Chains A and B, each alone.
Chain A
Amino acid sequence: MLQRIAIICSAAVLAACGPVSEHAQVEQDGLIYCSEGNPESFNPQLGTSGTTVDATSAQIYDRLLDYDDKRQQFVPALARGWQALDNGTRYRFNLRTDVSFHHTNWFEPSRHFNADDVVFSFNRWLSQQHSYHYVNGGRYPFFRSSGLIRLIHSIERIDEYTVDIKLNQPDSSFLANLATDFAVILSEEYAQQLLRANHPEQIDRLPIGTGPFQFELFRKDFIIRYQRHENYWRQKPEIKRLVYVITPNANKRMLKLLTGECDVIPYPLVNELSKLDQNAEIEVGSSVSPNVSFWAFNTQRPPFDNVLVRQALAHAVNRPAIVQTIYDGNARLATGMLPETSWAYSSAEQTYPFDPAKARELLSAAGYPDGFSMTIWAMPVQRAYNPNAQRMAELMQADLARIGIDATIVSYEWNTFRQRLVEGQHDSVLIGWVADNADPDNFFRPVLSCAAARSGNNRAMWCNPEFDKLLVSAISESNVDQRKHLYQFIEDMVKQQAPLVPIANSLRYQAHRSDIEGVELPPYGGINFRYARRVNDDSL
């Protein structure tokens, strides 16, 4: 009894007597984003994980140019302008002169941004001889799978504020790739300082960039803290502090949004969106996101190296029911790898219908009449393409049990999970893909090509030279109708070989408290807090 009274008293005291004005000031100046996982590092060059991009690209760094998706054109960023020379095999970038790097406890820049920084940032992933190339892994999956490494011949400093990039052949996707979240500019001076201190690996842990926010602190599994970059070369952000609170559990994120512990959350649970909408304090935003979620089989491991087994599994799961339960009407059942928004999309059905009898038949034909046991790896985090992989895995588990397959669900912390996928420890995995750009090629080459299998991004570990040949012929074809035809052919091959089973295409959601505005979600990934601000009650 007494104890309960004591609780009520203490709570009342805390609520009533807390120094309200100070508290309000702290809140007014900051923003809490409850992110879904730990970034792998603080350099997006090193990975393809959306979580890393969200925590770094638009906050800590800038690129040479940005893509404005409202006006559908490239806009200058660190480069004031650019020209294509020599028939499009050489690009000349004129750089800004007034850009300063972050001033932090661990680095005091002595100069502004210049051509050396651009050359350093590009050569880090471009040149294997570069002293930083092998620091922290030496894999640059985006640059490898997008072909930039093979496309760029060299980068040259012309003068302090001019840089030339030479290409091996003209390529229209070059600028688009430079505008992605991965092509960020690091500080060359900082890199030199670290090299002298013999701690080059710190460059991706204590990052220095030119972006609107500067990194302050990272505690794994708890928070990332940023503060405003006071000398930012564009308009300074309004919020002084930005904090990412790492909250992998989607429900907890939503609850914390309701109690005001989070201001913005990514990937709110779809089936609870409707409830959020009714809450006046919460607003839900959505944006089109070119993505697909899929179930990939590790084709290097028996029995998944047998195409009959893969087809059987594709028949065994009730995809329409899964999409209905998991996405609750906020997603489309995938008819192939390409989403409806892609120009190469065709409405032809390129997947397997739900048919347990057929599945059992195929299993018998493959020599497994009594089934087998397998693991389904389910992502521990939500992605735009899959709000709840664990639950999806449970639904599939029940479906698989019907054809005699005993499936266990496996999950690890997100970065460990990805690392072990690269090592190929899985039998099958529920994961997906968000396109980096609008080209249909981006749905196949980074996901299923042999190059992707080598760089570890091919979750099916599937390498088929014939398939790669088709991809090359599709990208070198200039006639749009021909290309579309070729991509349909590729889709058919994916269906027939079934290295993976496409599941759904979904919108990308974000929810925030209604006093926050200006949080941007660019369609090709990332999140941008540069224009975020808190609206006062008075000004409403």
Chain B
Amino acid sequence: MIRYSLRRLILLVITLWLLSLLLFSLNYWYPGDPLTNMSGITANNTIAYQQAELARGFDHGLLSQYVHFLEHLIHGDWGISLVTEQPVFDEIKPLMGATLELGLLAMALALFLGIPLGVYAAIQQRGLLDRVIMGLSLSAYSIPVFWLAQLFILLFALKLNWSPISGQINPLYAINVQTGSVLVDILISDSPYKTAAFYNALHHLWVPVVVLAIMPLTMLIRIMRNSVLDVLQQNYIKAARARGLTDRHIMFRHTLPNALQPIVRQLGLQFSVLMTNIIITEVIFNWPGVGSWLVKSIYERDFPVIQAGLLVLASLILMVNVFVDVVHAWRYPQIRKEIDAE
């Protein structure tokens, strides 16, 4: 197990290093001056520019520039935004919190609904409900997330008035942004209206969360259904049944733990899908997260911000994938053999 985890970690480090190489080269591919793209300091600001030239090794060759780039990256000096002139690293923290809050809640919702629905569909195999669930999930999987978000806004915000159109919370609740995750911020704030604020935040949250959850949800249902069907064919289930165990017992003690294996394996991929959708969803719901920040920076050609957004999103996805792999291998030892044997 340790050997396997180490291998994965080394792989992660190599990938992150490749990512840093990519980021470094991007600075030279973007239009404009590489130093400005990297540090956010324009040549108009002569003194600061000259200082940056020295600090980032621009008086030496490419290799030294890369070493300095890496150094700055690791120290959290990611340059300043070309638009706001604020340090990029400081801006990112609350945005990250907001994105993670949205992503984790959506993932939780998808798991919470997807697993029971998948099991249910498997039990009812080829029954009416199975067909309905599978049909719905295949079509829901094909709905572009931006269209779905629009339909939800039209329906829930405008026609039914069940939710607001955009934002994290009614801004009159003067909740100070600390972690960026609005629910956490409310809990640690000293607002006299905590409960009301919390309800208000949930009121804002549920539509984007549902929009985001739908695609992983449909995938999880399908995977879960197929996996339960597979497991039910296995000999050990037949053996358990032959021993006269109850259906409940077989389901919860024997089928589910084994059927969950492909779900765990898929979580990494689902997280990537979720992150793609989160970029678009944040733009639509005006959510102060990394995704909307990245898109805005592309409009504004704010290169230090583009890099930071890419770095954060990509490394988050990579790390979650490796983490999921390790957990998967730890929980299901039979997989390790397969991988090590290769």
Contact = CB atoms under 8 A, between A and B. Distances in A.
**Per the CB under 8 Å rule, do A and B touch in the complex?**
yes
Interface of A: 1-3, 6-7, 10-11, 14-15, 17-19, 22-23, 25-27, 29-30, 32, 216-217, 219-223, 225, 241, 243, 245, 247, 252, 255-256, 258-259, 261, 412-413, 415-416
Counting chain B residues whose Cβ lies within 8 A of the other chain, the interface size class is 35 or more
A245 B172 CA distance: 10
Interface stretch (B18-26, B197-205, B243-251, B320-328): B197-205
A381 to B, nearest CB: 14
Interface string B51-86: 000000000000000000000000000000001100
Nearest to B203: A14
B282 to A, nearest CB: 12
Contacts of A252: 165-166, 286
Given A219-B177, A220-B84, A2 B166 contact: no
B300 A416 contact: yes
B203 A32 contact: no
B165 A259 contact: yes
Contact of A14 (B116, B174, B202): B202
Given A7-B206, A416-B300, A255 B167 contact: no
B158 interface: yes
B163 interface: yes
Interface string B172-183: 111011000000
Contacts of A10: 202, 206
Nearest to B292: A221
B200 A415 contact: no
A245 B158 contact: no
B196 interface: yes
A19 B165 contact: no
Interface string B154-193: 0011100111111100111110110000000000000001
Contacts of B203: 14, 18
B199 A14 contact: yes
Given A32-B171, A241-B172, A255-B165, A3 B193 contact: no
Interface in B127-144: 132-133
Contacts of B300: 412-413, 416
A22 B164 CA distance: 18
A235 to B, nearest CB: 22
A416 B172 contact: no
Contact of B157 (A6, A29, A245, A255): A255
A11 B196 CA distance: 15
28 contacts: A1-B133, A7-B206, A10-B206, A11-B163, A14-B199, A19-B199, A23-B196, A23-B199, A23-B200, A26-B170, A26-B173, A26-B196, A30-B172, A216-B174, A219-B288, A220-B83, A225-B174, A241-B172, A241-B174, A245-B167, A245-B171, A256-B165, A256-B166, A258-B158, A259-B157, A412-B299, A413-B83, A413-B300
B206 A11 contact: yes
Contacts of B132: 1
B195 A22 contact: yes
Given A222-B286, A247-B286, 10 more contacts: A7-B210, A14-B203, A19-B196, A29-B172, A225-B174, A241-B174, A256-B166, A259-B161, A412-B300, A413-B299
Contacts of B165: 252, 255-256, 259, 261
Interface string B281-316: 000001010000000100110000000000000000
Nearest to B94: A219
Contacts of B167: 245, 261
Given A18-B196, A412-B299, A259 B172 contact: no
B172 A26 contact: yes
A416 B202 contact: no
B212 interface: no
Nearest to B81: A220
Interface string B192-231: 0101100110110010001000000100000000000000
Contacts of A216: 174
A251 B57 CA distance: 48
Contact of A2 (B113, B172, B193): B113
Contacts of B161: 259
Contact of B158 (A18, A241, A255): A255
Contacts of A261: 164-167, 170
Give the one of B193, B196, B288, B299 with max A CB within 10 A: B196
Contacts of A217: 176
Contacts of B171: 32, 223, 225, 243, 245
Contact of A415 (B83, B158, B176): B83
Interface string B112-154: 0100110000000000000011000000000000000000000
In the A-B complex, the 5 residue pairs with the smallest Cβ-Cβ separation, listed nearest first, are A30-B172, A22-B196, A18-B199, A243-B171, A11-B162
A221 B199 contact: no
A19 B192 CA distance: 13
A73 B271 CA distance: 64
A490 B164 CA distance: 51
Contacts of B199: 14, 17-19, 23
B327 to A, nearest CB: 26
A436 B158 CA distance: 39
A42 to B, nearest CB: 13
A222 B300 CA distance: 16
A460 B186 CA distance: 50
A2 B164 contact: no
A487 to B, nearest CB: 39
* Interface core residue of A2, A22, A32, A216 (most chain B CB under 10 Å): A22
Contacts of A256: 164-166
A216 B288 CA distance: 19
A18 B202 CA distance: 10
B260 to A, nearest CB: 20
A259 B154 CA distance: 11
Interface centre among B167, B172, B199, B210 (most CB of A within 10 A): B172
